[in-house]
């Protein structure tokens, strides 16, 4: 009976650690995201945790239901959060691009609530974000992220040492990469908007009596949207190319957690 009890206790601890890591990923990841209800997200965690826990070995030391278990639970939660955050930074590039689009064409004033980022965003930014989510689902970026998450249980067994602090520089690099990619995707529209604003400013300076502002917004809006629509294929191609880096990004994060800090 004692042997059976210790085996059951080990499985309970292993399952708890698996659920903790998966929960951290679901909380921080853009997939399934805030567009999906809490019930569906909990169901995803439970659906993934059952097969993973079956092949997860019992964590040796500390397999007891005591307060000492909070430390490995916190580490596993942090591991899942970092993996999900890395995936979110890949998708954040498209949110930045949508924000730059809105600023460039003059649509940043009108905002709506975006449940994905839980903030007020412009309508054009939300359209670009939804477009990027559709492309991510089409190319299978979510499957790549889940595959790396499941692979992390083999590369980083639950209950083992996790060097979460070693991922700090990688996360900083991912944030700067998201900013760079987002601005690069929006650069054509940004450049045209800047040229139009400079031309309107020069025209207003040359003819102060003309009400340039009344027609300036219309001109900038029409030109920006026309350019955006004409370059939509190039923007989508850039998004797909950036989505192809999901695997490399998650591999960098998991590698940083596996390697001991110098």
Is the residue at 89 inside a domain? yes
pLDDT at residue number 1: 41
pLDDT at residue number 116: 56
Is the residue at 34 inside a domain? no
Helix (H/G/I), strand (E/B), else coil: 158:
coil
Q: How many CA atoms lie within 13 A of 4 on its CB side?
A: 1
Is the residue at 236 inside a domain? yes
CA distance 31 to 136: 10
Residue 128 CB partners (closer than 8 Å, separation 6+):
94, 95, 97, 98, 101
Q: Which residue has the higher pLDDT, 198 or 88?
A: 88
Is the residue at 154 inside a domain? yes
Structural domain containing residue 99: 78-258
Q: What is the pTM of this model?
A: 0.83
Residue 207 CB partners (closer than 8 Å, separation 6+):
none
Is the residue at 16 inside a domain? no
Convert the pLDDT of each residue in 35-71 to its tens digit: 777 888 888 898 888 888 888 776 654 455 566 778 8
84 neighbors 27 (Cβ within 8 angstroms): yes
Strand-pair category, 111-114 with 119-122: antiparallel
Is the residue at 135 inside a domain? yes
Is the residue at 33 inside a domain? no
Convert the pLDDT of each residue in 94-122 to its tens digit: 989 888 888 877 766 666 666 555 666 77
Is the residue at 38 inside a domain? no
Quick one: pLDDT band at residue 147, thresholds 50, 70, 90?
very high
- State the average pLDDT over residues 114-133: 75
Domain tally for the chain?
A: 1
Of the listed ranges 23-32, 151-160, 200-209, 228-237, the one predicted with least confidence: 200-209
Angle at 27 between CA 169 and CA 157, to 5 degrees: 65
16 neighbors 58 (Cβ within 8 angstroms): no
């Amino acid at each position: 009976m004692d042997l059976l009890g210790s085996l059951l206790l080990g499985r309970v601890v292993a399952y708890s650690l698996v659920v903790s890591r998966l929960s951290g990923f679901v909380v921080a990841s853009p997939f399934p995201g805030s567009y999906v209800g809490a019930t569906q997200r909990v169901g995803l965690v439970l659906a993934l945790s059952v097969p993973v826990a079956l092949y997860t070995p019992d964590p040796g030391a500390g397999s007891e239901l005591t307060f000492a278990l909070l430390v490995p639970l916190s580490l596993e939660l942090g591991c899942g959060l970092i993996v999900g955050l890395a995936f979110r930074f890949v998708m954040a590039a498209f949110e930045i691009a949508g924000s730059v689009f809105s600023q460039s064409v003059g649509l940043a004033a009108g905002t709506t609530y975006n449940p994905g980022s839980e903030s007020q965003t412009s309508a054009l930014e939300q359209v670009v974000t939804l477009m990027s989510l559709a492309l991510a689902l089409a190319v299978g970026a979510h499957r790549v992220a889940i595959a790396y998450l499941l692979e992390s249980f083999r590369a980083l067994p639950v209950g083992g040492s996790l060097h979460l602090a070693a991922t700090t520089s990688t996360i900083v690099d991912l944030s700067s990469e998201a900013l760079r990619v987002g601005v690069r995707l929006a650069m054509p529209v940004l450049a045209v908007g800047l040229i139009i604003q400079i031309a309107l400013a020069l025209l207003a300076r040359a003819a102060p009596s003309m009400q340039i502002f009344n027609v300036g917004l219309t001109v900038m809006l029409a030109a920006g949207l026309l350019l955006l629509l004409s370059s939509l294929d190039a923007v989508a191609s850039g998004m797909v190319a950036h989505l192809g880096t999901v695997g490399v990004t998650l591999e960098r994060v998991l590698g940083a957690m596996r390697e001991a800090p110098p």
